[in-house]
Structure 1
Amino acid sequence: MSASTDEAVVPDAVWSGRFSGRVHDLFKRFNDSLPFDRRLFPEDIAGSAAWARALERAGVLDADELRRLESALESLHQAIAIDPAILRDADDEDVHSFVERNLVERIGDLGKKLHTGRSRNDQVATDLRLWTMTALDARIGEIQAVITGLVDLAHRERETVFPGYTHLQRAQPVLFAHWCLAYVEMLRRDLGRLADARIRAAVCPLGCAALAGTAYTIDREALAVDLGFRSASGNSLDAVSDRDFVMESLSAIAQTSIHLSRLAEDLVFYSSGEARLIELPDGLCSGSSIMPQKKNPDALELVRGKCGMQVGRLVGVMTTMKALPLAYNKDMQEDKVPLFDAMDELSICLRVLPPLLEGIVVRRVEARAAAIGDFANATELADHLVARGVPFRDAHHQVGRLVAEAIERGLPLEDLSIAEIRNHAPAADETVFVDLTVDAAIAKRNAVGGTAFDQITTRLARLKTPDARERPLGEIDVRKATVADLAEIKRLVDLWADAGENLPRSEEEILQSIGEFAVATEDDRVVGCGALWLYTPTLAEIRSVGVDPSCHGGGVGSRLIEHLAKIAEDLRIERVFVLTRVPRFFERLKFRTVSVNGLPEKILK
């Protein structure tokens, strides 16, 4: 007898043994996640292969079984790469069931053996973390490309005068490069947030099974390293039900999108007929179906428009998670589509901006005229009076009266005579007309972070355009720590102790050993620390190494280790060791992995 239209037979469901009869067709469509979690297929293959190797190390599989499983997984991976429709058109419940069914079809009952000791709960958490780590890496690279575009535009327009705005009204003149570098600062913070989210995503839940942990002797730390994670999770209940890494990623995406939206809004306004300060490239604009003259900034409007949904996805997942009991619940299936969509939308926004920035033409003559218009040099007149002994509040009032008179007469401040200026500001002298020029106004803003040409030149030199794999760091300096660095060292030590990467140290402990510490600084900000601790005249340990998440991947850690190793060399220390969960990092720096049994007993206590 055939099934009715509202029922479906699911004889191959991985959970079907407990059930009898038929599964309602609506439930199958409601419950199945393969239509969207098939994006996790590469991660599921990688996780399954690593799990097979862990089972072999635990004695559950023999060497031949491992070889056959790895071969079958690789064969399946290649088959989907050749014909994605096999996965796209499959009717399995989820990507895990799809992989298992195909393994059984290829190698028989051995395919069923792979799921020994694991659950779909730790499996999907592992897959999603791996996917998120890869996606975050890609977004970091795309943000770097936007930063490069802004730095290049700033360099090209480094002498271009531009109106600065507050309350969407002309306020003070700035260099257009200063505007570009303001968004560089925002995006650099976004890089830090994404890198920080990746740190906490890189914790391996595989081997936690459904909720209580696996019953097999799995080396979970080795499994974590095999998959490229930083460490294994510390609590199985938390690991299978944790979606903090999804929310952190969505939060970082939302913040980045807010910055992109602000950038887009600025450029939409600057290119408008009312402002006419820049011209956007034709290839990233569209026209009107009825008005032939229109040139619409659609790319920028879409960047601005997509921001709302990014914030909404974050709020949606947070709301889903807010009242879930431990451990796994099916509600968590709803984390994937928002995360996938958020990453996709951010990616297209980031990728469309570099060519748009490259194609911008700044209307330099119009921008310079606008920069001095609407009495944007009024503050310069007040500063002129302050320099001649007038209290600023009185100077502010006097200039306000002058502006009112100039508005009434339809003149800019610089067209008033010295006598007319002195009627309201008697301390003014003939040099006031120099101070009222736009070039003088900009040149005076020469404090760190200001818009003066010298400041822009210095900042651009520090933000030299990176290649696609480098973070746009300023100059990194590594030096001996001082007592003034104590709070920042404590912050970094606490950060990585909370992440389980370092031992905690009290402020008193750090203070007592401050002479053993080195710090890495960027623009005078401490972004990394580490200590060289001497045990004997021939043995030292590098410890308490920590790098600010905003500098992740920027070479800060390598610089610190090389600095500390050089100190040990200068002291004629024969052996330097480090206890670490990331041996590959230190192996790249010419360390080699050894047994802890070769270290003195007191070190291991």
Structure 2
Amino acid sequence: MSKLWGGRFTQPTDKFVEEFTASIEFDQRLYAYDIQGSKAHAEMLGRQDIIAVEEANQIIAGLNDILKDIEAGKVEFSVELEDIHMNIEARLIERIGAVGGKLHTGRSRNDQVAVDIRLYLRDEIDTILDYLAKLEAALIKQAEENLDVIMPGYTHLQTAQPVLYAHHMLAYREMIARDISRLQDLRVRFNVMPLGAGALAGTTFNIDREWVAETLGFDGVTRNSLDSVSDRDFAIEFCSFSSILMMHLSRLSEELILWSSADFNFIELTDAFCTGSSIMPQKKNPDVPELVRGKTGRVYGNLMSMLTLMKSLPLAYNKDMQEDKEPLFDTLDTVKGSLKIFADMIAEMKVKGDNMRIAAARGFSTATDVADYCVRKGLPFRQAHEVVGKTVRFCVENGKDIPELTLDEFKEFSELIEEDIYDYVTLEASVNARKATGGTAREAVERELAQLKNR
């Protein structure tokens, strides 16, 4: 098969070189966006009298037919034609004749692939934003439905203070909200059109880049032709966003794995999101969060691939940049799959509130409340800290928890402690004392949920 660029060459391309340099196996997913960009480019060429309007219409009709054939599974892509751009252009020329060769007037594959990826990524970002919104809603739903459930809050994975389970879920909602904000910022930043930059220096034809940009839904055009064809910051930034998002999902995955174990027994993941063991019939394995936790490393690796790919490239386009697509596409697929399954899993997750409460009552989780009580009685915090430390040591040595101490036992450590201490060391009292914005009190969490609904 003759190459569309073959005029300079006297020998055919080595067969293995064709296979090694081709990208059609992975960039064929860009077909609809390549056709979308080509149709806008063809219409602009007609509008600007660079080609006849009739020729532009003929090209657009041919591209529409090719799109229908691809979607109907009638097109077999060729490795010899290297990539999706040349596959479509060759088929266009085959279908409508020499006029199909006029489509490439005023553009290069360099700016063509740059616009294709941006069009594709823009649609994928919109899908991911929908998935993020569903996950955010699932976390809020968990908070609303379990507003009175108290669980242990941890530092160093040691029981620290009691918190509302709803507060814990809303902590992850905060992370997802930041992820949404990051992705929205990225979408605005990269939504400028590189088409018209040519191979690297622009074009001698009187093209109307601004009209094409508006037609394709871009907010404007790129301002430097060299940067336009060699920029992959937007892809790197997407992989960076994805790495942060997957880190958040991995942290939540870790907690779900722990919480669903027999040792914690805080939650139950529904059967639809678990698998069994091939040898141990009692097992119910949390495979979904485990896989999401594992796939996080894969997304990190894609980010490093992209950064390493671009770190030494001189301006402008280099063939190395063909390697941008596989890590980008893999990241997209991984993020979409993880979000889709995670949102559904969280929405159906069952909470074992009684077990959470029992765990919260262990580990002296109200010790800080005793220290705060002593401070309010006039004791400097550092002295109060020492008093409570000795109180906890006494409890450990005598097999007691703080609320079980008698008043006389409390007074052994500080005469400031009175009968009202028992109003401060219950789980509810500890939780509900933290009413300031961002705190775990039921009142504060209800305010936060109300604000989320208003937004």
Contact 2:377–2:416 (CA<8 Å) still a contact in 1? yes
Unmatched runs of 5 consecutive residues or more in structure 1: 1-10, 465-473, 476-605
Task: Tell me the matched-pair count.
Answer: 455
Q: 2:324 aligns to what?
A: 335
Distance in 1 (CA, whole Å) between partners of 2:196 and 2:41 is: 8
**Cα distance in 2 for residues equivalent to 1:12 and 1:182:** 59
Which residue is equivalent to 1:493?
none
What residue is the counterpart of 2:72 in the other structure?
Answer: 82
1:53 aligned partner, one-letter code: E
1:22, distance to aligned residue in structure 2 (A) = 2.2
| 1:107 is the counterpart of 2:78 | no
- 3-state secondary structure, aligned to 1:61: coil
Instruction: Give 1:46-195 correspondences, 5 Å limit.
Output: 46-83=36-73, 86-88=75-77, 91-195=80-184
Alpha-carbon distance in 2 for matches of 1:393, 1:38: 66
Identity %: 44
1:203-242 correspondence runs (5 A): 203-242=192-231
- For the residue of structure 2 that corresponds to 1:424, the secondary structure is coil
| 12, 22, 26: which one aligns with 2:16 | 26
**1:165-564 correspondence runs (5 A):** 165-464=154-453, 475=455
Q: In 2 relative to 1, CA 88–348 (structure 1 residues): closer, same or farther, beyond 3 Å?
A: farther
Over residues 37-90 of structure 1, what are the superposed CA-to-partner deviations in whole Å (9 max), with x where a residue is unaligned?
Answer: 10110010001001101111221122211111111110110111111x524566
Write the distance in 1 (CA, Å) between the matches of 2:23 and 2:343: 35
* Secondary structure, counterpart of 1:174 in structure 2: strand
Whole-angstrom distance in 1 between the partners of 2:59 and 2:274: 52
**Which structure exhibits the higher relative contact order, with contacts defined as CA atoms closer than 8 Å and separated by 6 or more residues?**
2
Identify if the C-alpha distance between structure 1 residues 393 and 198 changes in structure 2 by more than 3 Å, giving closer, same or farther.
Answer: same
Tell me which protein shows more strand as a share of its residues: 1
Does the aligned pair in 1 maintain the 2:50–2:206 contact within 8 Å? no
SS of corresponding position for 1:171: strand
Superposed displacement of residue 281, structure 1:
0.7
Check the 8 A contact 2:4/2:90 in 1, yes or no.
no
Distance 1:358 1:40 in 2: 33
Counterpart residue identity of residue 254, structure 1: S
The one-letter amino acid of 1:220's match is: R
The two structures have a TM-score, normalised by structure 1, of 0.74
**1:173-222 deviations in whole A, cap 9, x for unaligned?**
11111011001100010001111111122110101100000111111111
Residues 399 and 425 in structure 1, CA contact (< 8 A), matched pair in contact too: no
1:382 & 1:392 partners in 2: Cα distance? Answer: 7
The answer to whether the Cα contact below 8 Å between 1:213 and 1:236 also exists between their aligned partners in 2 is yes
- Contact 1:132–1:201 (CA<8 Å) still a contact in 2? no
TM-superposed deviation, 1:91: 4.5
- In structure 2, the gaps of 5 or more residues are none
* Counterpart-to-counterpart distance in 2, 1:159 and 1:383: 24
Q: Quick one: distance in 2 between partners of 1:356 and 1:47?
A: 38
Note if contact 1:38-1:87 (Cα within 8 Å) is conserved in structure 2: no
Q: Offset at 1:434?
A: 1.5
User: Comparing 430-439 with 353-362, which one deviates more in the overlay?
Assistant: 353-362
The AA in structure 1 aligned to 2:383 is D
> Considering only aligned residues, what root-mean-square deviation do their CA atoms show, in Å?
1.1
What is the Cα deviation at residue 354 of structure 1?
2.0
Verify the 8 A CA contact 2:266 2:356 in the aligned structure 1.
Answer: yes
In structure 1, C-alpha distance between the alignment counterparts of 2:4 and 2:126, rounded to whole Å? 33
> What SS does structure 1 have at the residue aligned with 2:160?
strand
2:157 counterpart letter in structure 1: L
TM-score normalised according to structure 2 size:
0.98
Match of 1:41 among 12, 31, 35: 31
CA apart distance, 1:114: 0.6
Letter in 2 for 1:253: S
Moved over 6 A (4+): none
Q: Which amino acid aligns with 2:125?
A: L
Partner Cα distance (2:49, 2:78) in 1:
37
Contact 2:43 2:57 in 1 (8 A): no
Q: Are 2:250 and 2:296, in contact at CA under 8 Å, matched by a contact in 1? A: yes
SS at match of 2:400: coil
Aligned partners of 2:19 and 2:79 also within 8 Å? no
Secondary structure of 1:164 counterpart? strand
